[in-house]
Amino acid sequence: MQKQTSKTPASDLLPAETFPENILLPLEIRVHGRGGQGGVTCAKLIAATYAKLGFNVQTFGDYGAERTGAPIRSFTRVDKTPIKNRNKVYRPDHLLVLDTGLLVPTLLDGVAPGASLLINSSEDPEKLRRRYPQFRVAVVDATSIAREHGIGTAAVVIINTTIVGSYAAFMGLPMTAVQQAFSFFGFVEDYEAAVAASRAVQIFEPLVHPKAGGSENIVETGPVLPITEHQQDIPTGLKTGTWASQIPQYREYAAPCSLACPAGNDVVGFIQTLKEKGASAAAELLLQTQALPSVCGRVCPAPCMKACNRTYYDGPVNIRSLERWIADNSDLQLTPLSDPDPKNFAVVGSGPAGLSAAFHLAMHGQKVTLFEKEHQLGGVLRYGIPAYRLPDDVLDRDIARIMALGVGSECDAKINSEKLAKLNSEFDAVLVCIGLGAPYAMQAAGEQLKGVFQGLDFLARRKKEKLPLSGTVVVVGGGNTAVDCARSALRSGAGSVKLVYRRSRAEMPAIAEEIEEAAHEGVQILTQRQPVAFIGSDTITGIKLAEVELGDQDASGRRRPIVTDQTVELACTTVLLALGQQPHLKLLPEGWAIEGSRVMNGDEPLPVWFAGDCLTGDGTVAHAIGNGRRAALDALAFCSGKSLPEDKEMKSTVAPADIRFSHFPVIPPYEDRHQAGGRIKENFEEVNLGLPGPGEAERCFSCGRCTNCDSCLVFCPDGIIFRDGSGYRIDQEYCKGCGICVAECPRRAMAMLDK
Ligand code: FAD
């Protein structure tokens, strides 16, 4: 809907004495015509006529794309003061009807008794007058006049200019103003027809006078409402909804962030909830899938952020830190479901997979016992990831929330194959979440020298006791364990730390931000180097590194390292190996085997499931959390005989091309705060301090999910979308299926569907 509001420069105005005196302001005019008759131009010429008389005017059509013969409406407002109303005209004072075919009963909706009605008709004017006894009625056969003056074609006579002459006569407007308006818009040639129509028009006062009599009864237009509050408009009589072959519908599409989340979090959901209802409400949603939000909000590699559509605009939403914000700032009492016949579950291993499984089982009202071989619960979160990334109290908080649901635990309880078989007979179901097994060895000469350690052992021991280091420490590997070892070595007193990796830096599997922080703290990263020997007689004194060339891509998609015979020696005091871990192979009793995630004894499925790294080797906390939850729900469904709701199936994803970037202001991402640089040695305080506030949530596009932003309503050219409760209603009787609402939806929360 294009609205034009204008004021004629004083120099162009007609003399003041030509102003009609009886005009009540503000004045609203509605023109009913058909595509091709020129109704929009007619409204414009009337506006221009009033403008020439010194009034402020506004004029606009109902929609941009007129079709020949289709009912259209156009509107003009006139006032002494500048016009701010942006709505259509709902209560016209003057109604122009360009075609008797449009004289349907609903045409008059909203028109006050005593209003003025100008009809283009060749019918008997008296008859029309009697049909509308409570209105001032003027009748003119503008079509014949326009035809006589050769305006338009024989098939489609254009009456827009002709009828303006009769309108001026009806309202007592000076024809000089009409003439000026015509010349302003380049219709000088049509002026003669307008003059003829001004003479031909027959004007009748109301037969039945409105109670209060006369024009003072004209309905006030009332205060200006925002466009979003617009009223149900007056139907045109022609239900244009029948034209549509497609209709717009509000839909929900999976956002790429949510699809990328291995834990199965509803990312858009929790961010929008944070924005609208605060951290506790967001936590409630997050905890439906995420047992360890404080942990994941710190250590997750955040594949969601890599998938975020905002990356293509002004930078991805800092989703990980929003999750952390919610976890750190919410106060939530969880109420588990109550099950009158709870089942008894054993969960072996208390890393993220086991904790997640225990959490969801407990939330479903089941009895759960965790069996953990270490002294404390947490798995790698407790004994691997250093405190400067994941402080103990943060981990404790997430674990305490789970244990508060009534989960029991036995620590220092290593489960072997015999005990697993026993658990199978004692519990209704067993979930095995034991993570990965022993670390890989280097298989290089001198690996047994004193001073060569497994990085994982170093990290685990460092959690329990101080392990002072000195001199040059070489860390071998490129994953999270390697980077954690390097940064922990710096904190443990190493003079210098060199991280040796056989591929390029871009191919290091560790979290990119962690690599950057390690480099920032002073870890020297040596890429395309492969240790081939450890040097020393009893204790290590150096390491022999071969240069590596990168060949073709291997199965992992990374370039294959080719070790050359070019070597260098590097003096060092300690080597920490971080080459990954192998799967546990020895836990299954004789005859048991894993199929999918379920354990089979021959052909017989056992109520035993595997989950987490020991099953998938995915190697991230979020994967383990998601996998643990899904296995728990599978086990519960099996034991209870009920099928439990699966992860919400989403239709398809929202691509960057689906986002209307221009609807969003550019807002650079809010950065995490960090500990002020300075002392690293012995400083295991958390480095990343998270976001200063939840403002980052404002940056979420809410891909695929309606936020009630009103774009559909505002852009609908027919004004047939209305706010309705918590959403919108589309008047399907009038929706022509133009698709503009869908095209203008900033976030693909609508779609055009075949009717
Ligand atoms: P685990 O966390 O390994 O837990 C298994 C648990 O089972 C342990 O508690 C173990 O003691 C127990 N267990 C084992 N055998 C037995 C048995 N026989 N009886 C009883 N209990 C047993 N991922 C990320 O997403 N982000 C990171 O920043 C990150 N950093 C990492 C840093 C390090 C140093 C390491 C090693 C890994 C890191 N990872 C990271 C990977 C991530 O921690 C793992 O993918 C995740 O912990 C796997 O979870 P899980 O529950 O399957 O196994």
Alpha carbon of 383 to ligand 1 centroid (Å)? 8
Residues whose CB falls within 8 Å of the CB of residue 604, separated by 6 or more in sequence, listed in order = none
* Closest ligand 1 atom, residue 621 Cα: 25
Q: What angle do CA 717, 718, 722 make, to 5 degrees?
A: 105
- 218 pLDDT band, cuts 50/70/90, is very low
pLDDT-wise least confident of 376-380, 527-531, 548-552:
548-552
Pocket test for ligand 1, best of 320, 356, 462, 480 (most atoms within 8 A of CB): 480
* Closest ligand 1 atom, residue 584 Cα: 15
Alpha carbon of 623 to ligand 1 centroid (Å)? 11
Nearest CA to ligand 1 atom 53: 435
Residue 271: which of 260, 256, 281, 261 has the closest Cα?
281
- 375 pLDDT band, cuts 50/70/90, is very high
**Mean pLDDT (whole number) for 342-351:** 98
In this predicted structure, the answer to whether residue 500 has a pLDDT above a threshold of 60 is yes
Q: Tell me, what's the pLDDT at 233?
A: 59
* Closest ligand 1 atom, residue 390 Cα: 28
- 224 pLDDT band, cuts 50/70/90, is low
**Mean pLDDT (whole number) for 641-647:** 70
Backbone angles phi, psi at 352, to 5 degrees: -55, -35
**Mean pLDDT (whole number) for 149-175:** 91
**Mean pLDDT (whole number) for 490-515:** 94
- Beta bridge partners, 576, equal 453, 475
**Mean pLDDT (whole number) for 82-88:** 82
In this predicted structure, the answer to whether residue 15 has a pLDDT above a threshold of 60 is no
In this predicted structure, the answer to whether residue 475 has a pLDDT above a threshold of 70 is yes
In this predicted structure, the answer to whether residue 7 has a pLDDT above a threshold of 60 is no
Alpha carbon of 376 to ligand 1 centroid (Å)? 13
In this predicted structure, the answer to whether residue 99 has a pLDDT above a threshold of 50 is yes
* Helix ranges (DSSP H) in 186-266: 191-200, 256-260
Q: Tell me, what's the pLDDT at 620?
A: 96
pTM over 0.85? The answer is: no
Ligand 1 binding residues, C-beta < 6 A: 299-301, 348-354, 371-374, 379-380, 384-385, 414-415, 433-435, 456, 459, 480-481, 484, 511, 587, 612-614, 619-622, 624
Nearest CA to ligand 1 atom 23: 620
Alpha carbon of 384 to ligand 1 centroid (Å)? 8
Alpha carbon of 660 to ligand 1 centroid (Å)? 41
In this predicted structure, the answer to whether residue 690 has a pLDDT above a threshold of 50 is yes
Give me Rg for the CA atoms of the chain: 38
* Closest ligand 1 atom, residue 354 Cα: 51
String of DSSP letters for 123-159? S-HHHHHHHSTTSEEEEE-HHHHHHHTT-B-SSSB--
In this predicted structure, the answer to whether residue 18 has a pLDDT above a threshold of 60 is no
Nearest CA to ligand 1 atom 4: 351
| Identity of the highest mean pLDDT range in 13-27, 99-113, 536-550 | 536-550
* Closest ligand 1 atom, residue 415 Cα: 19
Question: Could you give the CA distance from residue 373 to residue 104 in angstroms, rounded to a whole number?
Answer: 83
Q: Tell me, what's the pLDDT at 3?
A: 41
Tokens of 535: 């040097």
Nearest CA to ligand 1 atom 18: 415
Alpha carbon of 351 to ligand 1 centroid (Å)? 5
Mean pLDDT of the chain: 90
- Spell out a b/e string for 547-582, using b for 16 or more CB atoms within 10 Å of the CB, else e: ebebeeeeeeeebebeeeeeeeebebbbbbbbbbbe
| Identity of the highest mean pLDDT range in 19-28, 228-237, 725-734 | 725-734
Q: What is the pLDDT of residues 19-51, one digit of tens each?
A: 556 667 889 999 998 877 788 899 999 999 999
CA distances in angstroms from 53 to 15, 56, 106, 173, 501, listed in the order given: 8, 9, 33, 9, 83
Question: Could you give the CA distance from residue 302 to residue 221 in angstroms, rounded to a whole number?
Answer: 55
Percent of the chain surpassing pLDDT 70: 91
Residues whose CB falls within 8 Å of the CB of residue 539, separated by 6 or more in sequence, listed in order = 449, 450, 451
Question: Could you give the CA distance from residue 214 to residue 135 in angstroms, rounded to a whole number?
Answer: 10
**Mean pLDDT (whole number) for 546-571:** 90
Q: Tell me, what's the pLDDT at 37?
A: 73
Pocket test for ligand 1, best of 306, 398, 434, 630 (most atoms within 8 A of CB): 434
Alpha carbon of 304 to ligand 1 centroid (Å)? 21
Q: What is the pLDDT of residues 661-679, one digit of tens each?
A: 999 999 999 999 998 877 8
Q: Tell me, what's the pLDDT at 113?
A: 79
Alpha carbon of 624 to ligand 1 centroid (Å)? 8
- 4 pLDDT band, cuts 50/70/90, is very low
- 225 pLDDT band, cuts 50/70/90, is low
* Closest ligand 1 atom, residue 414 Cα: 19
Question: Could you give the CA distance from residue 308 to residue 317 in angstroms, rounded to a whole number?
Answer: 7
Higher pLDDT, 250 or 72: 250
* Closest ligand 1 atom, residue 382 Cα: 9
Higher pLDDT, 464 or 505: 505
Alpha carbon of 528 to ligand 1 centroid (Å)? 28
Q: What angle do CA 296, 300, 302 make, to 5 degrees?
A: 120
Alpha carbon of 435 to ligand 1 centroid (Å)? 5
Q: Tell me, what's the pLDDT at 436?
A: 94
Alpha carbon of 571 to ligand 1 centroid (Å)? 33
Alpha carbon of 296 to ligand 1 centroid (Å)? 13
Pocket test for ligand 1, best of 296, 380, 381 (most atoms within 8 A of CB): 380
Q: Tell me, what's the pLDDT at 87?
A: 79
Tokens of 25: 């302001």
* Closest ligand 1 atom, residue 484 Cα: 34
Nearest CA to ligand 1 atom 8: 379
Backbone angles phi, psi at 29, to 5 degrees: -125, 135
Alpha carbon of 644 to ligand 1 centroid (Å)? 27
Q: Directed axis angle between helix 175-185 and helix 191-200, to 10°?
A: 150
pLDDT-wise least confident of 214-218, 259-263, 713-717:
214-218
